[in-house]
Amino acid sequence: MRRTASFVMAGLVLAAMPAGAQEGGHRIVLRDLVRTFGPGAYQGRNNGPEQTERFSRKVKIGRDGRFSLSNIAGDIVVTAGSGDEVSIEAVKRTRGDRSELARVQITVDERGGRVDVQTDHEQNRRDRNGRSDHVSVDYTVSVPVSASVDLHSVSGTIKVTGVHGSLRSETISGDVTITDAPKLESAKTVSGDVTLSGITTDGDLTASSLSGNVRAKGLKARGVDVGSVSGDIAVSDATCERLGVKTVSGAVEYAGGIAKGGRYEINAHSGTIRLLLTNPAGFELNANSFSGSIRSELPLTIGGPAAQPGDSPRNRRGPLSNHSMRATYGDGSATVVVRTFSGDIIISKR
Amino acid sequence: MHPNETTLNEYADGSLGAAERAGVEQHLAACASCRQLVDDLRDILRATGELEPLDAPVRAWPRLERAIRMEREHATRVTAGPHSGAAVSDPADAGSYRTYATWLAAAAALVLAAVVGMRYTPGRRAEAPAVAPAGATASATAGGAAESIETELRQAEAHYENAIKGLEAIATTERSELDPRTAATLQKNLAVIDQAISESRAAVRSEPASEPAQQSLIEGFKAKIGLLQDTVALINEMRKGNEAGAARIVSGLKQKGN
Amino acid sequence: MTVDLVASIQAGDVDAFEALYRQHSAKIYTLASRMAGSPEDGEDLLQEIFLQAYRKIGSFKGDSALGTWLYRLALNHCLDYVRSRRAKMNKLTDTLDAETSFEPAARRDTPIARMDLERAVERLPEGCREAFVLHDVEGFDHKEVADLLGIAEGTSKSQVFKARLKLRGFLGKR
């Protein structure tokens, strides 16, 4: 669609505008994005030996303290340790000039039981070529086991293990990998994969990637919402009461249980949706696809308990067709809604 | 002579006047089908009384939270004015600040408006053809219903497209740019969604009454709006991060004695 | 406790607002879904209602419980929605409300399952569904329902009774 292309192109065009055309040429203008990686980005001074600078800080925050970290470029690794202090180790890296390292500022803000770490890239005059520095900062952090953690990155991976306090991890381009995090609330990336393992929470959790895959293995939660646009979704060994899955061109596989009275909604456009159900409670199934086929290996009763032949026009057309199925398994207490446009729908028992 | 359905209903839910009650009870003692009706009504009333709340979908809160944060931020900036808070210490910035505040207001409004998708439930419309008023021919009704489905759908599309246009306009005029790689990812995924929308549209045209076709078209619009909202929110966050980062740098520089 | 929560929300504390949401979202979502006739519409209304609550929290005076204030806001919002939708949809509503002859379904004497009833309520035609939800589910009396829906008290009764009979048909109890 032309319109769509133009909005993004406008963004790119702005990025390439010469310095003079930007407003406020004399003030400090910060572009906090490190545009180091794309083709056509500045080349040259970027290929020298790697220069590094270390940063280290320990802060006491108490067992239930809060820790947040905001990074621009670079990887973040957070693990839970014993004790009540946060230990921050950071390495600034560049293949450019050593002086660039000093232009990256790490701010640690401590305030009554919380620590907020910010990474800021300074650029004190607009460079003729509009380029920014080429510094990345890799963080390795240890937090108290019950601390709540909030991580943001622009370009870099996030890896968290063992954090038992509430956890949010978001990056724009990079993978997010979370293990053993019982209070995971959200794990998101734009282009990268999200991988969750060993998550047991009694709350809700959201995981999404725009163009990458989302995989969750060993998941126990009350409510789960998982989405991607072009990536695949795979949820296995899962127990939840409410499930929302959406992808456009990706495929979906859900291998898990159906809880009594739960609600499960899965939507894909062209991908295949596969349900492999383990000891499912009874459910009413509403499956439809425009051109994909629907197959069930579970013994289903055609028509829901509340839908009697003859009293719903939809059923009059035939409750079971290639592309539409309204059926009941067991007592029909839970609700399972599965929809695709052209993808197939396959339901089986594990 | 059976009591009418109104009376039996009133009897079942206990709202029947004392005077009439005796007469009804007398009838029920002798009439199995009325007794069955009353029992069924009481069953329904009992089950209804036992209905419990259903949990909202998980995604409802994150969407709401984002809308609120944007709204709050806009309100803060409007009341605080251009010279408080962030790094804007140069009067020349006031102009661009105001532009940003305007932008943010528009963005917040669109995010909020588009938070609510179009209220279009295809299934209900599809039921219309079978419930023809007496005397109407089947084909006339079916034709009429298909037409009204088409109209409803066009209205839904128009509503979505307005929201989409608005969000796109915001993303276009926004100063702060996204890095090329992210912009490319967003574009690639928008193309995936647009492809899906165009397939669904073609399907609806060929089979207007098909619920899967209608549903997939609506899902496509929702996906597109979701992506544009994410983009707008992303731009907003980077913008915010810019300003806050600028403030930190400035204060950091001051500390260094620059 | 409520005073603190309201004050926090007014001061812009989103976590406090989340606490309010977690406490009341199920009830509001359920009311909205049943009034609107679908969970999708209910979800949309839920968001609108809480956005409105966020904006109007400043006007909460503490003369009722916060939950009650929120419920009233939600109810008004749902009613506005129902009224405006009915205005747009009048032709179809008439069609749907027309007496339909259901083939008598096979009688089922099993107890009514909760989900079956929820789904059956969703299928009720507009007009009688709102009256049923307000009277039989939410517990308003016919006079209150009449006031809320802008109809005559007698109409409220007939709509509620019609809804019950339709439910009886849907649930296989004919």
B34 lies in the same domain as B125: no
For chain C, which residues make up each domain, given as ranges? Answer: 1-89, 99-174
Considering the domain boundaries, does residue B54 fall inside one? no
* A49, part of any domain: yes
Please give the structure tokens belonging to residue C117. Answer: 């009833």
Whether residues C168 and B44 touch (CB distance < 8 A) is answered with yes
What is the greatest pairwise CA distance in chain B? 100
Query: Tokens representing C42?
Result: 């209910």
Residue in C108, C115, C123 nearest the CB of A335: C115
- Cβ contact A226:A199 at 8 Å: no
Query: pLDDT for C121-167, tens place per residue?
Result: 999 998 899 999 999 999 999 999 999 999 999 999 999 999 999 99
Domain final residue, candidates A165, A181, A202: A165
A64 and A117 assigned to the same domain: yes
Q: Domain span at residue B177?
A: 60-256
Q: Are B159 and B222 in contact (CB under 8 A)?
A: no
Give the residue among B187, B186, B211, B189 at the shortest CA–CA distance from B200.
Answer: B211
Could you tell me if residue B92 is inside a domain? yes
Touching check for B248 and chain C: CB below 8 Å?
Answer: no
Written as six digits, the tokens of A60 are: 């006491």
* Tens digit of each residue's pLDDT (9 = 90 or more) over B26-57: 999 999 999 999 999 999 999 999 898 999 99
Do A256 and A327 lie in one domain? The reply is yes
On whether residue A222 sits in a domain, the answer given is yes
- Clarify whether residues B27 and B143 are in a common domain: no
Which of A304, A309, A331 is opposite residue C119, by nearest beta carbon? A304
Phi, psi for B215 (deg, rounded to 5):
-60, -45
**Strand A85-94 relative to strand A51-60: parallel, antiparallel, unpaired?**
antiparallel
- According to DSSP, the β-strands at A167-170 and A85-94 are unpaired
Q: Output the CA–CA distances (angstroms, integers) from residue A206 to A185, B62, C76, C116, in the order listed.
A: 6, 8, 31, 29
Q: Which residues pair with A200 in a beta bridge?
A: A220
ipTM of model over 0.95: no
Q: Which residue of A has its CA nearest to C118?
A: A306
Asked if residue B82 and residue B21 are part of one domain, the reply reads no
* Residues of B with Cβ-Cβ distance to A204 under 8 angstroms: 58, 61
Domain count of chain A? Answer: 2
Are both A142 and A240 inside the same structural domain?
no
Is the same domain home to B39 and B138? no
Do residues B78 and B153 share a domain?
yes
- Angstrom distance (rounded) from CA A174 to CA A192: 5
Q: For chain B, report the end-to-end CA distance as a whole number of angstroms.
A: 100
B255 or C64, higher pLDDT: C64
Same domain for A143 and A49: yes
Contacts of B148 in chain C (CB under 8 A): 91-92
Whether residue C14 lies within 8 A of chain B, CB to CB, comes out as yes
Q: Is residue A302 part of a domain?
A: yes
- The label of the residue with tokens 């053809």 reads B129
Single-letter amino acid code for the residue at A81: G
Whether residue A7 lies inside any domain: the answer is no
Q: Do A32 and B248 touch (CB under 8 A)?
A: no
C1-89 to CATH, choices 3.30.70.260, 1.10.101.10, 3.30.565.10, 1.10.1740.10: 1.10.1740.10
Q: Which domain holds residue A238?
A: 193-350
Distance CA A213, CA A232 (A): 5
The length of chain A, given as a count of residues: 350
Cα angle A38-A43-A47, degrees, rounded to a multiple of 5: 110
Domain for residue B147, yes or no? yes
In a shared domain, residues A207 and A329: yes
Are residues B128 and B23 part of one domain? no
Asked if A67 and A203 sit in the same domain, the reply is no
Per-residue pLDDT for chain A (350 aa), expressed as one digit of tens each?
333 333 333 333 333 334 433 333 322 222 333 333 334 344 445 677 888 999 999 999 988 899 999 998 999 999 998 888 999 999 999 988 888 888 888 999 998 889 999 998 876 333 333 346 688 999 999 999 999 999 999 899 999 999 999 999 999 999 999 999 988 999 999 999 999 998 988 889 999 999 999 999 999 999 999 999 999 999 999 999 999 999 999 999 999 999 998 999 999 999 999 999 999 999 999 999 999 999 999 988 886 544 433 333 433 333 445 588 889 999 888 999 999 999 999 999 98
Fold of C99-174: Arc Repressor Mutant, subunit A (1.10.10)
Total count of domains within chain B: 2
d(CA B241, CA B237): 6
B126 touches chain C (CB under 8 A): no
Are residues A220 and A155 located together in one domain of the fold? Answer: no
Quote the tokens at residue A244.
Answer: 């929302």
Residue A300 and residue A205 share a domain:
yes
For residue A184, being part of any structural domain is answered with no
